[in-house]
Amino acid sequence: MIGNQSYMKVGGKWSKMPGNAQAIPKLRDSFTEEGLKTLSDVKFEGDDSVDGKPALLYSYKNVTPVGSYPFTAKIWIGKDTGVPMKLYVEYSNGQLKNMTVNYDAEAPVTIEAPIN
């Protein structure tokens, strides 16, 4: 996503996605003061690691802001940085059953539209 444009790579080819990327919920929206009110069953699961780096593992339940799909999640937070390292989500209904997001907060980033 760049601004309000989103792109997807499928089969080695980039496509501009229709619609407005602003409508896609962002992880950080779940952790605003308002978003935190919808979390339930928040638990500290203990120390863990992601790719050999120390992490703190938490689990929680929530509902998607768009479509109201209930889900359970586990999030790994860098023990030294406080930055998300990994997120695993399981949805109890809908077409998407589970999703894993691996975050890379160390690699240099250049943001350019893959196509015009």
What amino acid is encoded at 1 in this protein? Answer: M
**Of 11-25, 38-52, 69-83, which range is least confident?**
11-25
Question: Residue 16's pLDDT is what?
Answer: 83
Token pair listed for 7: 């792109």
Domain range enclosing 77: 25-102
Question: Residue 3's pLDDT is what?
Answer: 74
Q: What angle do CA 79, 81, 87 make, to 5 degrees?
A: 70
What are the distances in angstroms from CA 24 to CA 5, 45, 59, 110? Answer: 11, 29, 22, 22
Question: Residue 25's pLDDT is what?
Answer: 56
Residue at 14 is within a domain:
no
Residue 86 CB: number of other CB atoms within 10 A? 18
Question: Under 8 Å CB-to-CB from 59, ≥6 apart: which residues?
Answer: 41, 42, 43, 45, 72, 73, 74, 75
How many domains, in total, are found in the chain?
A: 1
Residue at 8 is within a domain:
no
Question: Residue 61's pLDDT is what?
Answer: 94
The model's confidence at residue 19, banded by pLDDT at 50, 70 and 90, is low
